[in-house]
Amino acid sequence: MLSLPTRPSRPDLRAGLHRRLVALVAGVFLLAPLGCAGISARESVLRNMVTDWRQRAETSRTLSATSGALLEELGLVELAANNPAAAARALEGRLNERPDENGPLALAELSLQAGVEHPAGSPAALGWFRDAAALASMALAKPAGAAPDVAVAVHNQAVARLLRTGLEVGRAGGRPWHDVLGEQGLALGTTAPYLDPAYIADLRVADDLVVTGMDHVYRCGGLGVPIVANRVTGQSAGDDPRDRFLPHELRAAATAVVVADGGFDGGEWRRRPASLLFFDPFERSSLTLGVNDVVLAGDRTTPLASQVSSGQLQTLELMGLLDPGFRRPGTETGLYMLRPYEPGKIPLVFVHGLVSSPRAWAQTINELRNCAALADRYQLWVFLYPTGLPIPGSAAQLREALTQVRDHVDPAHSDPAMDRMVLVGHSMGGILSKMMTQETGLNLWNATITVPHDRFAGPPELRQGLDSALVFRPLPFVKRVVFIASPHRGSPLANDLLGRVVSGLVRSPDEMAAREAEIETFNGPGVISPDLRGRRLNAIGNLRTDSPVLLALDQIPIDPGVPFHSIIPQIGGVKGSDGVVEYRSSHLDGAVSEKIVTGTHFSQGRPEVTAELRRILLEHLEVEGPPLVAGGG
């Protein structure tokens, strides 16, 4: 993938003005409802304290009828009421002498009670919570186990408290949570390699976070504790190659379950470590325990909301416009997957627009990957790039990223789903997506460079760089494109005073400035088209209604083998403008469909837009294409 150069720290004559106006520009652009504004997953301290107090009170004074009956039979009711820990030890001894079908559940409940008697964060509680969860899983494995709902509730509360306490003890002692729980005789594992606990630097119980701003929160009850796993991987060459296109830091969805290894009789479960397992809620919906198939809990929305509200992407949105050379480790330009590559599933690639980032697609991603008819057939990817660069340069980065991912994950080109890729572009992202389906010939070159292509002078790498941006052919594996509020013929806002001011604030990356100087050195000062001279060579300049780049692209047809669709939000639902782009700029002749919805330029995540996108994606599945590999869905 192309990477952006790091700008060295140096004095700049425009730096002072740049700093003074950044706040103004941020206000103008970022106060707009970008479709992801207000989405967050935050801890509610007061709510969590009240919930903890209520759970402790209820747990400490109640036992299920099944467990109560067993304790009464064994004469342990009074001891359990006064000292749950002592009652648990006594019960375990009795059960070792005379097993009982309901013994594991009763012992699980007493162990949980013993654990909650300790203050929050107490290391002494960890063993009790471990035992409660493991014993509850044993109870669920019984062929005729009583009170399965009670066993699930005990297991889940014990696991949640085990995780919270392990994290708190680890932070207090400056130790990883893995080590703290490992010392409690827990073997950590997963059925999904990308959820390897070694990658999970931190985690949160999903129920401890309050999601706001999402139209729907997709979660389901069952066995296990849904968590937000903060998955962090390094950047060295030795990292797992499966991580290459996953974000360096990803809030991943997982469901934590503790399972006992060994039966209850004879204390076998005590001699073997219990397993703390992380399940992927997008892959697993149930777990077999003994002869029983138990439904797993899951939360597919809270981790996404947490990712969106982490703050890093918000910084990149503004800085990626004003300083395209800005770079933050772990968020380099490129194509990113939110889950590992899934053979047999069609790539659906989202491309954001100006002063934006993949977080603009949060609502859309949340809805589409929870639509069963689509989730079984599509894998969702996003493209991240600094939006201040000239449009041809960003398109070259997208083209290289798509090609590179294809060659990396499917080097033999044996996955037919990869040849049915769909691109969805919002605003300027639609222009980039369209350029993946166009054959420019020399049209774009002649619109920007005055020297004929065959007489252009310079070293091979300079020529190659220009060709990648100005002379290209359609990507053969892109088979459908959807444009949302795309300014194919520019926006008047780029022409007016604000547009010119902001364009003047966009810094040219050192590498690009050096390339411009190199081009002039070899080909003379008039090598840049007269229509571009005196203008900033950046995205805002390219989005002017008189932009030579857009005028040239408008004359180049989309590959006739690639159907395309337009979704055009309009204020009042009538042809006019979305507040940024006029209808005449968003409209394209030849579209398979054009849907006008009521909204503004930043309506890409609204239900009406998502509904139309869902319809288009279902239509794409119906069109005859290469058969998908068996098991891909």
Q: Given pLDDT bands bounded at 50, 70 and 90, which one contains residue 567?
A: very high
Q: Residue 297: inside a domain, yes or no?
A: yes
pLDDT on residue 511: 78
CATH assignment of the domain containing 582: 3.40.50.1820
Q: Residue 516: inside a domain, yes or no?
A: yes
Average pLDDT over residues 402-421: 95
- Among the ranges given (212-221, 297-306, 325-334, 424-433), the one the predictor scored with the smallest mean pLDDT: 325-334
Q: Structural domain tally of the chain?
A: 2
pLDDT on residue 320: 80
More confident position, 148 or 240 = 148
Cα distance between residue 632 and residue 377, in whole Å: 7
Q: How many residues does the chain have?
A: 633
Cα distance between residue 403 and residue 357, in whole Å: 21
pLDDT on residue 333: 87
Whether residues 585 and 481 share a domain: the answer is yes
Q: What is the dihedral of CA 608, 611, 612, 614, to 10 degrees?
A: 160
Residues facing 210 on adjacent strands: 42
Whole-prediction pTM value?
Answer: 0.90
Whether residues 343 and 253 share a domain: the answer is no
The full 3-state SS of 213-256, as one line of letters, equals CCCCCCEECCECEEEEEEEECCCCCCCCHHHCCCCCEEEEEEEE
Average pLDDT over residues 26-55: 72
pLDDT on residue 312: 72
Query: Strands 298-299 and 225-232: what pairing?
Result: unpaired
- Among the ranges given (188-192, 216-220, 266-270), the one the predictor scored with the smallest mean pLDDT: 266-270
H helix or E strand, kind and range, residue 187? strand 186-190
Q: Residue 2: inside a domain, yes or no?
A: no
Is pLDDT at 543 greater than 50 in this prediction? yes
Whether residues 234 and 331 share a domain: the answer is no
Whether residues 283 and 387 share a domain: the answer is no
User: Which among 273, 303, 333 is the end of a domain?
Assistant: 303
Q: Residue 334: inside a domain, yes or no?
A: yes
Cα distance between residue 176 and residue 339, in whole Å: 25
Is pLDDT at 539 greater than 90 in this prediction? no
Q: Given pLDDT bands bounded at 50, 70 and 90, which one contains residue 547?
A: very high
Whether residues 106 and 145 share a domain: the answer is yes
Whether residues 463 and 541 share a domain: the answer is yes
Cα distance between residue 306 and residue 37, in whole Å: 13
Q: Residue 126: inside a domain, yes or no?
A: yes
Q: What is the DSSP letter of 558?
A: B
Is pLDDT at 12 greater than 60 in this prediction? no
Q: Given pLDDT bands bounded at 50, 70 and 90, which one contains residue 558?
A: very high
DSSP sequence for 250-318: EEEEEEEEEE-SS-SGGGHHHHS-EEEEEE-TTT-SEEEETTEEEEBPEESSHHHHHHHTTSHHHHHHH
Whether residues 192 and 332 share a domain: the answer is no
Q: Residue 96: inside a domain, yes or no?
A: yes
Average pLDDT over residues 459-479: 95
Q: Residue 188: inside a domain, yes or no?
A: yes
Contact 428, 539 (CB under 8 A): yes
CB count, 10 Å around CB of 450? Answer: 15
Average pLDDT over residues 18-28: 38
Q: Residue 8: inside a domain, yes or no?
A: no
Whether residues 251 and 392 share a domain: the answer is no
Q: Given pLDDT bands bounded at 50, 70 and 90, which one contains residue 279?
A: very high
Whether residues 282 and 316 share a domain: the answer is no
User: Which among 303, 335, 352 is the end of a domain?
Assistant: 303
Whether residues 559 and 501 share a domain: the answer is yes
pLDDT on residue 580: 95
pLDDT on residue 174: 95
pLDDT on residue 498: 77
Whether residues 320 and 448 share a domain: the answer is yes
Q: Which amino acid is at 461?
A: E
More confident position, 133 or 541 = 133
Left if phi > 0, otherwise alpha if psi is -120 to 50, otherwise beta: which for 224? left
Whether residues 515 and 495 share a domain: the answer is yes
Q: Given pLDDT bands bounded at 50, 70 and 90, which one contains residue 24?
A: very low
pLDDT on residue 241: 62
Cα distance between residue 338 and residue 547, in whole Å: 35
User: Which among 303, 335, 363 is the end of a domain?
Assistant: 303
Q: Given pLDDT bands bounded at 50, 70 and 90, which one contains residue 29?
A: very low
Is pLDDT at 22 greater than 70 in this prediction? no
Domain interval for residue 260: 42-303
